Amino acid sequence: MSNVPRSIIFFHPDLGIGGAERLILDAALALKSKGHKITIFTSHCDPNHCFDEARNGTLDVRIRGNTIFPPTLFGRFKILFSILRQLHLLISITISGELARLKPDVFFIDQLAAGTLFLRWRWSEIRILFYCHFPDLLLVQDRSRWWKWIWRLPFDELEGWATKGADKIIVNSDFTKGVVEEIWPALVGKKHRAQSIGVIYPCVNTKETTTGKVEDKKLNGDLWNDKKMILSINRFERKKNIGLAIKAFHGLKSHDRQGVRLVLAGGYDPRVEENVSYYGELVKLTESLGLRSATTKNVVTALNVPDDIEVLFLLSVPAQLKAMLLSAACLLVYTPTNEHFGIVPLEAMLAGVPVLAADSGGPLETVLEGQTGWLRTAEDVGQWTEVMQRVLHSMSEEKLRTMGIAGKRWVKSEFSETKLADRLDEEITWMVDSPRRRVLENANLLLGLGIAVPFIAALYVIWSKVIDILRS
């Protein structure tokens, strides 16, 4: 492993609050701890909706490429405008000389691969690492109509081509690696280490934990008058399947819910239509089941909700409140299926909280069945209710404490920031010292023309509609 300090430039589309954003900041901090110079470019970072390190000067975060193209047009065409904003960012910092002044040694891109092609063309000597959280083409849910399928086709092809343009591809779990190799088989079987797909798990901050959770005090009761708490932390998105937690909680007998509160906390951005609509759906589900609920947005109002509230929605939870919730919870429920990785179970285990998660995707690699938590199928609500019942009323505090200690040890040994720093530094060194991956071939050139034509045509149609609206 090399000790040579490098200038590493990160590119991330929207530095808000989410697992991908947490990973990018942790990766930047990890590499900074190794002596590298870190700069992060993004097209959006709202100081009121981002992690502390993105706004408090801990990292050099620069917002560029946000003055021409909006994130969406009337809530649509997100992928198109995401690519245009990324290209705007890359072109603007190239033309202005800002990127050259940073004397880059490595480019670190995640989430949106399109920019790798521009970087390979303009900065041909600089190596590119692409961190794939999950292929975007598999995240698009609705392709039922033929025109939606046609619309997505060039972007799907572009994603595959651009991903191959990276000199090193890293994924967040063995689960994601298997998915990537299945949809892009050309990436499989590379003999040279630098050109094979690597797996580097995200980390959690093991230096600043919620203290006292395992070693002393009662397992519950610090926030709401000795009320036991079942906690869910997730963005308000349908794929997170938060309704499962509500249904499983409702499955408890009414007397078993006495003195218990289900807290649904997570990222909520009023700019995102899905966040707003899905939150509304969850509130309606809660009401339809006869559960009393309330919604708060800050620590003060959260701590002063009426005692009879059974389900509490906490929107855009700040770090301080999140730590308090993890410190007081007796169980963390993690409901997404086929989650690419999932950082929240690690945060819970680090705080000494047992985890109940879906038995698919990343949690299969992070939650140890019967030791640090439980893995259950998301198709059977009753199984989730049974675990809740066991934690609330059957297991002794000593047993829960033992699970908490095991979880903390497991996370510190396998998912620490030190381990992330070592693995990233090692992979970057291999990448820089190895021959470049070949990306442009005759078939790719023809594919490029196939992508460019509908791309430009779509942009022309959209822009024409905007002009018509402005004139009318």
User: Could you read off the pLDDT of 210-264 as tens digits, one per residue?
Assistant: 444 434 333 344 677 778 999 999 989 999 999 999 999 999 999 999 999 999 9
State mean pLDDT over 177-188: 87
Residue whose C-alpha is closest to residue 242's, from 226, 253, 230, 259: 230
pTM of the predicted model, to two decimals?
Answer: 0.77
State mean pLDDT over 54-68: 94
Q: Which residue has the higher pLDDT, 425 or 303?
A: 425
57-65 long-range contacts, CB within 8 A, separation 24+: 58/29, 59/25, 59/28, 59/29, 59/32, 61/15, 62/98, 64/89, 64/92, 64/93, 64/98, 65/41, 65/89, 65/90, 65/92, 65/93
CA distance 316 to 318: 6
Grade residue 373 by pLDDT with cuts at 50, 70 and 90. very high
Q: Which residue has the higher pLDDT, 367 or 436?
A: 367
Looking at residue 185, what is its pLDDT? 85
Grade residue 39 by pLDDT with cuts at 50, 70 and 90. very high
Looking at residue 469, what is its pLDDT? 67
Looking at residue 439, what is its pLDDT? 63
Looking at residue 154, what is its pLDDT? 84
Residue 292 above 60 pLDDT? yes
| The token pair that represents 408 in the structure block | 């903390």
Looking at residue 211, what is its pLDDT? 41
State mean pLDDT over 419-448: 76
State mean pLDDT over 410-428: 94
Q: Which strands, in side-by-side order, build the sheet including 311-315?
A: 293-296, 311-315, 260-266, 228-233, 331-334, 355-358, 373-376
